[in-house]
């Protein structure tokens, strides 16, 4: 082969290399979503998250990839899910709850983590402070503990005969445990007798309600993703025991609970998408201040109230964001 042929051969190959490189599909930025509940129980929240991403020009399959994993109400699966997302080398991890965020933080000190709804993220060790999270974690605080007293006050407005309060809690959930402490303090301030009923599995809930029948006038349900997967069953148990229930999210009221007061979770997941957008565009997670809810909803199930013989004050109905009839 002469010199001219060699030049032609290698020159042609060099010209082809950029074309071959361009032909390889570029890897899309990838978001790993860790859901503590089931896909169906968290569908409204994930839909709000994906919709906001779309509005910010992050379109699944075109400009971003989303890997969703759900623990199906089993917190013991969260560590394995977090480890899997780390192996997939996602660019940012989104955790829907405090247990999920803690599992993600334990799995990686490098991949940015955004929690969509954490109870007391400072107290649980997720961030150093709300203003300066530091590390690789940021997100939204749900202020669940700060609003516990308000929930009890609302519950007593609808159930003025309330003297004995049952508190249903998964104490293995750090956020729920903190909320339990706040509920106990608020109950003491209001002069209510109270008893703790713990569960760790869905199977523990029915026996707990059986025990409550003779020991409580109403039930405060500490927010927990595990319970969210079985909210219909919980509503049925409460109705059978003729116990009014107070919750932190509207979905329990839709499933038969008496009332709820707390942050609007679809809105929090929309705002989570905005934090993810900042991270994908180069902002360090630890430099993004933790945000707090701006929209709170009071939801009342009037059908449940009537079935329990409770009269909801007209003043409360007037300020309710949603009433099920």
User: Tens digit of pLDDT per residue, the chain (325 long)?
Assistant: 554 554 444 444 444 445 444 445 678 999 999 998 889 889 999 999 999 999 999 999 999 999 999 998 888 899 999 999 999 999 999 999 899 999 999 999 999 999 999 888 998 899 999 999 999 999 999 876 678 899 999 999 999 999 999 999 998 888 888 899 999 999 999 999 999 999 888 888 999 999 998 999 999 999 887 788 888 999 999 999 999 999 999 999 999 999 999 999 999 999 999 999 999 999 999 999 999 998 999 999 999 999 999 999 999 999 999 999 9
What per-residue confidence (pLDDT) applies to 314? 96
> Is 148-263+297-324 a CATH 3.40.30.10 domain?
no
CA atoms within 13 A of residue 186's CA, in its CB half-sphere: 22
Pairing of strands 164-169, 137-141: unpaired
Give the burial class of 211: count Cβ atoms within 10 A of its Cβ; 0-12 exposed, 13-18 middle, 19 or more buried: middle
Phi, psi torsion values for 174, nearest 5 degrees = -55, -40
What per-residue confidence (pLDDT) applies to 145? 64
Q: What is the pTM of this model?
A: 0.82
Domains 30-142+265-295 and 148-263+297-324 share a fold: yes
What per-residue confidence (pLDDT) applies to 172? 82
Query: Are 232 and 255 spatial neighbours (Cβ–Cβ below 8 Å)?
Result: yes
- Residues 6 or more apart whose CB falls under 8 angstroms from that of 248 comprise 142, 144, 147, 151, 179, 221, 222, 223, 260, 261, 262
Length of the chain counted residue by residue:
325
What per-residue confidence (pLDDT) applies to 2? 52
CA atoms within 13 A of residue 13's CA, in its CB half-sphere: 5
CATH of domain 30-142+265-295: 3.40.50.2300
Q: How far apart are the C-alpha atoms of 318 and 325, rounded to whole Å?
A: 14
Q: Where are the domains of the chain?
A: 30-142+265-295, 148-263+297-324
């Amino acid at each position: 082969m002469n010199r001219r042929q060699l030049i032609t051969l290698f020159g042609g190959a060099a010209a082809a290399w950029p074309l071959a490189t361009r032909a390889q599909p570029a890897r899309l930025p990838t978001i790993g979503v860790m859901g503590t509940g089931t896909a169906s129980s968290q569908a409204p929240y994930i839909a709000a998250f994906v919709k906001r991403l779309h509005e910010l020009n992050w379109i699944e399959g075109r400009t971003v990839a989303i890997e969703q994993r759900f623990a199906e109400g089993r917190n013991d699966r969260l560590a394995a899910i977090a480890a899997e997302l780390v192996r997939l080398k996602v660019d940012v991890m989104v955790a829907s709850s405090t247990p999920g965020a803690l599992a993600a933080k334990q799995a990686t000190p490098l991949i940015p983590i955004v929690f969509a709804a954490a109870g007391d993220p400072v107290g649980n060790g997720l961030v150093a402070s709300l203003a300066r999270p530091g590390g690789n974690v940021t997100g939204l605080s749900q202020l669940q503990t700060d609003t516990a007293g308000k929930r009890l006050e609302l519950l007593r407005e609808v159930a003025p005969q309330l003297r004995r309060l049952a508190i249903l809690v998964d104490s293995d959930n750090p956020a729920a445990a903190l909320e339990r402490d706040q509920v106990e303090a608020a109950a003491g301030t209001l002069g209510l007798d109270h008893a703790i009923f713990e569960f760790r599995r869905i199977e523990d809930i029915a026996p707990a309600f059986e025990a409550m029948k003779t020991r409580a006038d109403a039930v405060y349900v500490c927010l927990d993703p595990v319970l969210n997967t079985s909210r219909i069953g919980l509503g049925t148990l409460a109705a059978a025991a003729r116990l009014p229930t107070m919750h932190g999210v509207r979905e329990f009221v839709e499933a038969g609970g008496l009332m709820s007061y707390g942050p609007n979770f679809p809105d929090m997941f929309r705002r989570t998408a905005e934090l993810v957008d900042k991270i994908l565009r180069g902002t360090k997670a630890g430099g993004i201040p933790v945000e707090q809810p701006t929209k709170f909803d009071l939801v009342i199930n009037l059908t449940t109230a009537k079935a329990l013989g409770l009269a909801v004050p007209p003043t409360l109905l007037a300020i309710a964001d949603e009433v099920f009839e």
